[in-house]
Amino acid sequence: MFAPYRRLFSARGAVGFSSMGFLARLALSMSGVSTVVMIASLRHSYALAGAVSGASLATTLLTIPLLGRLVDRYGQSRVAVPAAVWSAGMSAALLVCLSLDAPTWTLFATNILSATAPNVGGMARARWAEIYDNDTDSMHVANSFEQVLDEVCFILGPILAVALATGVSPEAGRLAALALTLTGTVLFAAQRRTEPPVHPADPAGQKAPLRNRGLQVMMLVFLFTGSIFGSLEMVTVAFTDSLGHKPVAGTVLALQAIGSAVAGMLFGMVTVRGTSVTRFLTGVTAMAVLMLPLNLAGGLWSLAPLMFVAGMATSPTMITGMGLVQELIPRSQINEGMTLAVTSLLGGISLGGIVAGWAVERFGADSGYALPAAAAALAALVAVSGSAWLRREAAAHAPAGATAASVPEPVSLGQEA
């Protein structure tokens, strides 16, 4: 049953970089919530906690694409390690400022400056793409595995952060995230056997990823997809609170992530058919359909299974979507392209949370689930409308002689460092 995953990890060094990368990715899922809990506990203000955390997220929208471009130009280890060291140092400075009861502006400054943690998930996907160059089936399994890891981090990270912040000390969650960011990134970068070489840009010149029409479509789709996640989180907290069960909001949200993780694991075991664009259109449409039943939730017991079902299309859609992003851009720009996709998701999460907060205040929690359903419908509409651009760009960057069914042998990455 798990034969596709066993074959995936038969590549030398695959276990090393994927396991080390998991530590850094877990840190990213812990950072935001641990910051909110820490500042709210020590400064007694959720408004301040949300503002400090939001300022860092906004900065991340600028730093992640820049780091992706630098990685494409200079290599993963040369960029990721200094970026992680700087991020850890500024996170430590934030903790010092809190312990010294420093002015509020120092909290904003240090947390904003800490927003340089590299996108290890994107770099891991770039390594898979280098190992299984043009191998459609293996890349499908690799993207499935990476998406499942993302979901696992989403489930475990906030739980671990809150447990440390409430059970040990308010600073413990952010301190653990700091340590995991530094340790995970350094150990990931140390896996030199699988680090992709720097691919020179086309000497004839090539357009920047932001000018790629196919990637523009994907970024807009991911913006609305992120809005699904951001609004779903806000609305679920408000809805469970209105039912008198606010403490279980995290558990209910975890059911959506669990449904997504299960679907992603199973999706990686099937043999894909059709073009990546067709599969992606099917995924976003299914995601829009499965979000609709959430509006029927009348209580906690009806909401829980609906959340699980709503998550079932998420991983297959994201797996296909991230694979499609890799097809739309040349290998010399893969890290920048992947980070632009992640940036769109993060921006959508922020946008969805803001809009959902306003809608819940104005119309009540009972009607809130119309927002993630609407965001999913918009994502599907944009994907269908831009499908011609997606097909055109994917065809333009397809390797000579490659087809959807071609399965060449994995390429060698050269000598071990």
Residue 414: pLDDT band with limits 50, 70, 90? very low
Q: Write down the CATH superfamily of domain 210-399.
A: MFS general substrate transporter like domains (1.20.1250.20)
Rounded Cα distance, 85 and 62, in Å: 18
What does the pLDDT look like over 91-127, one tens digit per residue? 999 999 999 999 999 999 999 999 998 888 888 988 9
pLDDT of residue 293: 93
What does the pLDDT look like over 149-190, one tens digit per residue? 887 887 778 778 878 888 889 899 899 999 999 999 999 999
* 382, 224 contact by CB (below 8 A): yes
Rounded Cα distance, 222 and 284, in Å: 10
What does the pLDDT look like over 48-72, one tens digit per residue? 887 887 788 778 878 888 888 898 8
Distance of CA 135 to the CA centre of its chain: 23
Domain 14-196 has CATH 1.20.1250.20: yes
pLDDT of residue 204: 52
Q: Where in the chain is the domain with CATH 1.20.1250.20?
A: 14-196, 210-399
Sign of the dihedral defined by the CA atoms of residues 272, 274, 275, 278, in that order: negative
Residue 405: pLDDT band with limits 50, 70, 90? very low
What proportion of the chain, given as a percentage, has pLDDT over 90?
Answer: 28
- Contacts of residue 41, Cβ cutoff 8 Å, sequence gap at least 6: 165, 170
CB atoms under 10 Å from CB of 296, counted, come to 10
pLDDT of residue 398: 66
Rounded Cα distance, 143 and 145, in Å: 5
pLDDT of residue 201: 63
* 172, 33 contact by CB (below 8 A): no
DSSP letters for 22-39: HHHHHHHHHHHHHHHHHH
Q: Residue 95: phi, psi to the nearest 5?
A: -65, -40
Residue 397: pLDDT band with limits 50, 70, 90? low
Mean pLDDT score across all residues of the chain: 83
Torsion of CA 56, 61, 62, 66, to 10 degrees: 120
pLDDT of residue 252: 83
* 114, 90 contact by CB (below 8 A): yes
Sign of the dihedral defined by the CA atoms of residues 15, 16, 20, 21, in that order: negative
- At residue 334, the 3 state secondary structure works out as helix
pLDDT of residue 44: 81
- At residue 408, the 3 state secondary structure works out as coil
Rounded Cα distance, 11 and 285, in Å: 34
Mean pLDDT lowest for which of 31-35, 393-397, 401-405? Answer: 401-405
Mean pLDDT within 373-396: 91
Helix axes 120-131, 172-189, angle to 10 degrees: 20
* 25, 19 contact by CB (below 8 A): no
Instruction: Inform me whether the pLDDT recorded for 401 exceeds 80.
Output: no
Instruction: Inform me whether the pLDDT recorded for 408 exceeds 70.
Output: no
pLDDT of residue 286: 94
pLDDT of residue 48: 84
Rounded Cα distance, 117 and 319, in Å: 23
Mean pLDDT lowest for which of 30-34, 227-231, 294-298? Answer: 30-34
